Amino acid sequence: MAPTSETLTAERILEATEEVLRRHGPAKATVVDVARALGVSHGSVYRHFRTKAALREAVTKRWLDRTSGELSGIVAADRDPETRLRDWLAALFAAKRRKAGDDPELFATYTVLTDENGTAVGEHIADLTSQLTRIIEAGVATGDFAAIDPEATARAVFQATGRFHDPCYAREWEEPGAESDFRAVVDLLVRGLRP
Amino acid sequence: MAPTSETLTAERILEATEEVLRRHGPAKATVVDVARALGVSHGSVYRHFRTKAALREAVTKRWLDRTSGELSGIVAADRDPETRLRDWLAALFAAKRRKAGDDPELFATYTVLTDENGTAVGEHIADLTSQLTRIIEAGVATGDFAAIDPEATARAVFQATGRFHDPCYAREWEEPGAESDFRAVVDLLVRGLRP
DNA sequence: CGAATGACAGATATTGAAATCTGTCAGCTG
DNA sequence: CAGCTGACAGATTTCAATATCTGTCATTCG
């Protein structure tokens, strides 16, 4: 982490914060650590982020947005709605599971944020639900799905698959039955969506 | 809590422990407290329960079994399977929500136990899933439900409704949308079960 | 003049010593 | 002799003193 002499931007701070979080975990990462990693005083960090919570939230938001981005490709894909729905849910499960495994410390940060009821997590969920809504609307349009209220239905699908994307279940994602449990739930939900 | 002079039984210890847990919460309740409440030495408690964890688990088991008992009546009820399924899920949601509200300290104990992966919670879940399996089997028999593997389907239904009975969501059970979210998920699942 | 600094007050976290608790067991008691 | 006790060792928790951190702001620097 050689302190570059480039101007200090929010982006560079987020980069450094992510690195510090990865190394120290959410409980031990301090703003002073971040400033040290950047070779600046911690006061400078506060010029870009009002509080430590705001910084943590910004890092998490960036991290969550990467997932949303991956998934949005599936929403727009050129396939029948049922396949898109199955792919989307599978991709969400895979992405969360991968993040929990590869970046345990960042994942812990995300979990902390969930508990704190930050807006970033709420927005992420709203974003994902809206992607789901679009897939379901497409299915209603083609006659593949029957849903009176696509948005409520999307929320129901999202909540019903919580076990496979909600951080509070992260421990169980690596257990043997997880994959087949996932298929069973998705099959049931897809059957429920059909006219 | 006047120390009765009756013989010390496992049952009396469980009674006293529940009271101590209710009063102090899982973090502060000690075996010494339980012994004091009973007017005996803590060594006597260890005659009936090998460890503190075993005592905590026994209390939780008793408490969980009360819920299982309430629900088993619905499994045996004289109604069509779909109604039984809906009633059973609604009763499970209501029971958990009530317990979280009325006995927050005991509920916290239950949550701690879930995290510790004690067998009592696993057995409780197995018990509930087997009740669900019986309802689904009944539905398959009458032709109301189509399920190739009733047990796997029961597990799927249980997992898909996790948001409405898993302690990690307890906070959200009192929020305004909870009831309608519940109905949306149950409707979707019931549709998925129909032939 | 805008960006960065570093000293500061109050809040939070760490630390290590003292208190309490868990689990055992030899011996007491009815 | 079955059931209970209380002293004990080691583990855990508490508590208060100390150190560190968060967030602010008057001042410096380029």
Report helix, strand or coil for A87: helix
Convert chain B into a string of H (helix), E (strand) and C (coil): CCCCCCCCCHHHHHHHHHHHHHHHCCCCCCHHHHHHHHCCCHHHHHHHCCCHHHHHHHHHHHHHHHHHHHHHHHHCCCCCHHHHHHHHHHHHHHHHHHHHHHCHHHHHHHHHHHHHCCHHHHHHHHHHHHHHHHHHHHHHHHCCCCCCCHHHHHHHHHHHCHHHCCHHHHHHHHCCCHHHHHHHHHHHHHHHHCC
Band (pLDDT 50/70/90 cuts) for residue A5 is low
Put simply, the answer to whether A157 touches B188 (Cβ < 8 Å) is yes
CA-to-C1' span, B110 to D6 (A): 32
Band (pLDDT 50/70/90 cuts) for residue B183 is very high
pLDDT of res. B3:
42
- Where are the extended beta strands (E) located within chain A? none
Query: What residues in B contact A189, CB-CB < 8 Å?
Result: 160, 188-189, 192
pLDDT of res. B108:
92
pLDDT per position as a tens digit, A74-131: 999 999 999 999 999 999 999 999 999 999 988 998 898 888 878 999 999 999 999 9
**Distance in angstroms (rounded) separating the CA atoms of residues A151 and A129:** 8
pLDDT per position as a tens digit, A27-55: 999 999 999 999 999 999 999 999 999 99
Band (pLDDT 50/70/90 cuts) for residue B79 is very high
pLDDT of res. A7:
84
The gap from C-alpha A3 to its chain's centroid, in whole angstroms, comes to 30
Q: Domains along chain A? A: 10-48 (1.10.10.60), 56-193 (1.10.357.10)
Please check whether residue B40 is in contact with residue B16, taking contact to mean a CB–CB distance below 8 angstroms.
no
> Nearest-CA distance from B193 to chain A in Å?
7
pLDDT of res. A1:
39
Question: Does the pLDDT of residue B2 top 50, yes or no?
Answer: no
**Distance in angstroms (rounded) separating the CA atoms of residues A112 and A28:** 13
Question: Does the pLDDT of residue B124 top 90, yes or no?
Answer: yes
A95 lies within 8 A of chain B by CB: no
**Distance in angstroms (rounded) separating the CA atoms of residues A96 and A119:** 19
Most confident of A103-107, A127-131, B100-104, B167-171: A127-131
- Considering all CA atoms of chain A, what is the largest pairwise distance in Å, rounded to the nearest integer? 61
Dig out the tokens for A26 from the structure: 């959410």
- Give the nucleotide nearest to B52 (CA→C1'): C22
pLDDT per position as a tens digit, B9-51: 999 999 999 999 999 999 999 999 999 999 999 999 999 999 9
